[in-house]
């Protein structure tokens, strides 16, 4: 595939998704009554397997099992850590006892657990993939082989080689009429959808500038200190996956992707280049690979800019929001975290409550719930549905900005597509006894980005 046209190849799918999502959301309350299930099971119950039992896996499963008027049953779970699996099981079983059928012999621990869990499903059932994103292509491959519909968490990739791989897998899923959802739930937000429509209708004028902020204290499991004695290198890194680029793309990819994606949605385009800066501060004994602050300037093909600010330093001003400036009016994409969005359009460029021209004034259902309602509606209606194409674009654009900060160079999307640095090759062969793809330096610390020193790779 020609890397120069890849972003354009994705756009028709994304625009179609926006139209489809609007239509599905409008009828999501009728999922059980108006739609006849298209499924191999005589009882119309869709079975679910959970692969990756951390906080996001538990959260996504909660949203899945909460879809109103649906016949869903969780029948298998898998993780590489037994304590996480058992904790997730206890949490879900306490809330959804009538929808949980996961006896001990269908709770699988180990690196091959994903296969064992998926083998408990029938073609047309659903697997939830919420492990660190490094494993996404491995698990997605097997899900497609087994004929399963897939919900996967974001990001879906952390580097260019796996991005290409995921696009090819998405084509295979399409060819088999499998449905694939990606946990960029803001795309399902009804308030943001209304704002997008108004922007496309020219209500704010030409889009000139976008701004996004995720400035908080410590995020996820980063930063992290030295590995404790008696713990394997591989186990330690997987437990602290936000700390290591090969596993998650670091805190930048795992958390900033939402702000980046919602801004690209409003622009209805993907940036073609990025320049950035960032740094590590007050690190002490911390050994993770993250920067503590990121400042990125993304540029779209027409010259429009997206300015992104990320920070994970305690006791500093916090902000979690995204904005768009048009030639006529400015608008709020998200006001404070993911939900509710509280989208608004202002009379000019001044963000003042007395200058509001339009505000979304309806109750905002949780986008975490809506993404599952829409996903299940597509499965029941046997409607084409694949968010992986767009998820790959959001992931690689995010990685492009991360690399710009970590190397100190301008990174162009067309060049990044062809970059050969796969952070962790051969993950489909990984076992509990394998060496970790990232090895510590002397003293127990790990390679970190060095802008201006390592200018082609994010770490050596």
| Secondary structure, 3-state, the chain | CCHHHHHHHHHHHHHHHHHHHHHHHHHHHHHHHHCCCCCCCCCCCEEEEEECCCHHHHHHHHHHHCCCCCCEEEEEEEECCHHHHHHHHHHHHHHCHHHECCCHHHEEECCCHHHHHHCCCCCCCEEEECCCHHHHHHHHHHHHHCCCEEEECCCCCCCHHHHHHHHHHHHHHHHCCCCEEECCHHHHCHHHHHHHHHHHCCCCCCEEEEEEEEEECCECCECCCCCCCCCCHHHHHHHCHHHCHHHHCHHHHHHHHHHHHHHHHHHCCCCCEEEEEEECCCCCCCCCCCCCEEEEEEECCCCCEEEEEEEECCCCCCEEEEEEEECCCEEEEECCCCCCCCCEEECCCCCCHHHEEEECCCCCCCHHHHHHHHHHHHHHHCCCCECHHHHHHHHHHHHHHHHHHHHCCCEEHHHHCCCCCCCCCCHHHCCCCCCCCCCCCCCCCCCCCCCCCCCCCCCC
Residue 146 pLDDT: 98
pLDDT confidence of 40, banded at 50, 70, 90? very low
Which percentage of the chain shows pLDDT scores above 90? Answer: 88
**Does residue 39 surpass a pLDDT of 80?**
no
Which of 409, 417, 400 shows the shortest CA–CA distance to 257?
400
Q: Where are the domains of the chain?
A: 3-187+368-388, 190-362+397-429
Q: Which residue has the higher pLDDT, 5 or 328?
A: 328
Residue 282 pLDDT: 87
| Residues ≥6 apart with Cβ < 8 Å to 13 | 386, 389, 390
pLDDT confidence of 255, banded at 50, 70, 90? very high
| Residues ≥6 apart with Cβ < 8 Å to 164 | 1, 417
Residue 15 pLDDT: 36
Instruction: Compute the average pLDDT of residues 296-308.
Output: 98
Q: How far apart are CA 154 and CA 294, in angstroms?
A: 20
Taking a C-beta distance cutoff of 8 angstroms, is the pair 333, 192 a contact? yes
Worst-scoring range by mean pLDDT, 25-29, 182-186, 322-326, 409-413?
Answer: 25-29
Give the Å distances, CA to CA, from 281 to 7, 137, 286, 313: 35, 34, 10, 8
pLDDT mean across residues, the chain: 91
**Does residue 16 surpass a pLDDT of 70?**
no
| Residues ≥6 apart with Cβ < 8 Å to 381 | 35, 38
Q: Which residue has the higher pLDDT, 218 or 271?
A: 271
Strand 411-412 vs strand 273-279: parallel, antiparallel, or unpaired? antiparallel
Burial class (CB in 10 A: 0-12, 13-18, 19+), 81: middle
Residue 10 pLDDT: 31
Instruction: Compute the average pLDDT of residues 252-279.
Output: 98
**Does residue 451 surpass a pLDDT of 90?**
yes
Class of CATH domain 190-362+397-429: alpha beta
Instruction: Compute the average pLDDT of residues 77-105.
Output: 98
**Does residue 80 surpass a pLDDT of 90?**
yes
| Residues ≥6 apart with Cβ < 8 Å to 412 | 272, 273
Query: HSE of 57 in the Cβ direction (CA atoms, 13 Å)?
Result: 26
Residue 14 pLDDT: 34
| Residues ≥6 apart with Cβ < 8 Å to 363 | none
pTM over 0.85: yes
Give the Å distances, CA to CA, from 336 to 67, 119, 341: 25, 41, 7
How far is C-alpha 92 from the chain's CA centre? 22
Taking a C-beta distance cutoff of 8 angstroms, is the pair 369, 240 a contact? no
Phi, psi of 37 (to 5 degrees): -60, 135
**Does residue 440 surpass a pLDDT of 80?**
yes
Query: What is the residue whose two structure tokens read 């906080």?
Result: 55
pLDDT tens per residue, range 317-376: 999 999 999 999 999 999 999 999 999 999 999 999 999 999 999 999 999 999 999 999
pLDDT confidence of 431, banded at 50, 70, 90? very high
Q: Please name the CATH architecture into which domain 3-187+368-388 falls.
A: 3-Layer(aba) Sandwich (3.40)
pLDDT tens per residue, range 189-198: 999 999 999 9
Residue 443 pLDDT: 86
Instruction: Compute the average pLDDT of residues 221-244.
Output: 96
Query: Does the N-terminal peptide bond of residue 155 adopt cis geometry, omega within 30 degrees of 0?
Result: yes
Common-topology check for domains 3-187+368-388 and 190-362+397-429: no
Taking a C-beta distance cutoff of 8 angstroms, is the pair 395, 158 a contact? yes
Q: How far apart are CA 13 and CA 15, in angstroms?
A: 6
**Does residue 1 surpass a pLDDT of 50?**
no
Worst-scoring range by mean pLDDT, 32-36, 97-101, 258-262?
Answer: 32-36
pLDDT confidence of 435, banded at 50, 70, 90? very high
Residue 4 pLDDT: 28
Residue 13 pLDDT: 37
Instruction: Compute the average pLDDT of residues 233-245.
Output: 97
């Amino acid at each position: 595939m020609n890397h120069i046209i890849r972003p354009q190849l994705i756009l028709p799918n994304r625009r179609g998704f926006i139209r489809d999502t609007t239509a599905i959301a409008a009828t999501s309350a009728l999922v059980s009554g108006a739609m006849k299930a298209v499924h191999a099971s005589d009882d119309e119950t869709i079975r679910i397997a959970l692969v990756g039992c951390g906080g996001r896996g538990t959260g996504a499963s909660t949203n899945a099992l909460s879809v109103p008027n649906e016949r869903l049953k969780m029948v298998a779970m898998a993780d590489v850590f037994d304590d996480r699996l058992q904790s997730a099981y206890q949490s879900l079983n306490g809330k959804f006892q009538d929808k949980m059928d996961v006896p001990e012999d269908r709770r699988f621990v180990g690196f091959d657990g994903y296969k064992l869990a998926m083998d408990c499903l029938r073609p047309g059932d659903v697997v939830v993939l919420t492990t660190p994103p490094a494993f996404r292509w491995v698990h997605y491959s097997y899900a497609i082989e087994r004929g399963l519909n897939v919900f996967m968490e974001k990001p879906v990739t952390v580097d260019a080689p796996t991005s290409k791989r995921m696009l090819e897998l998405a084509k295979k899923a399409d060819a088999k009429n499998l449905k694939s959802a990606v946990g960029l739930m803001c795309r399902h937000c009804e308030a943001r959808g209304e704002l997008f429509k108004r922007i496309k209708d020219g209500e704010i004028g030409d889009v000139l500038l976008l701004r996004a902020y995720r400035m908080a204290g410590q995020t996820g499991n980063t930063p992290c200190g030295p590995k404790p004695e008696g713990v394997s290198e591989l186990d330690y890194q997987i437990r602290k996956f936000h700390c290591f680029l090969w596993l998650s793309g670091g805190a930048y990819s795992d958390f900033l992707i939402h702000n980046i994606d919602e801004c690209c949605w409003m622009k209805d385009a993907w940036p073609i280049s990025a320049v950035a800066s960032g740094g590590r501060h007050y690190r002490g004994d911390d050994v993770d690979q993250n920067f503590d602050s990121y400042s990125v300037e993304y540029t779209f093909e027409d010259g429009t800019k997206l300015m992104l600010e990320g920070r994970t330093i305690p006791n500093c001003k916090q902000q979690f929001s995204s904005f768009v400036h048009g030639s006529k009016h400015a608008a709020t994409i998200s006001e404070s975290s993911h939900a509710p969005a509280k989208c608004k359009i202002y009379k000019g460029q001044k963000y003042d409550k007395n200058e509001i021209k339009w505000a979304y004034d309806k109750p905002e259902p949780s986008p975490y719930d809506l993404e599952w309602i829409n996903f299940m509606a597509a499965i029941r209606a046997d409607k084409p549905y694949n968010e992986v194409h767009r998820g790959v674009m959001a992931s690689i654009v995010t990685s492009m900005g991360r690399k710009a900060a970590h190397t100190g160079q301008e990174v162009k999307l067309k060049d990044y597509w062809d970059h050969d640095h796969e952070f962790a090759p051969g993950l489909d062969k990984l076992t509990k006894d394998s060496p970790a793809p990232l090895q510590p330096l002397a003293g127990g610390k790990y390679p970190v980005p060095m802008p201006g020193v390592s200018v082609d790779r994010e770490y050596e």
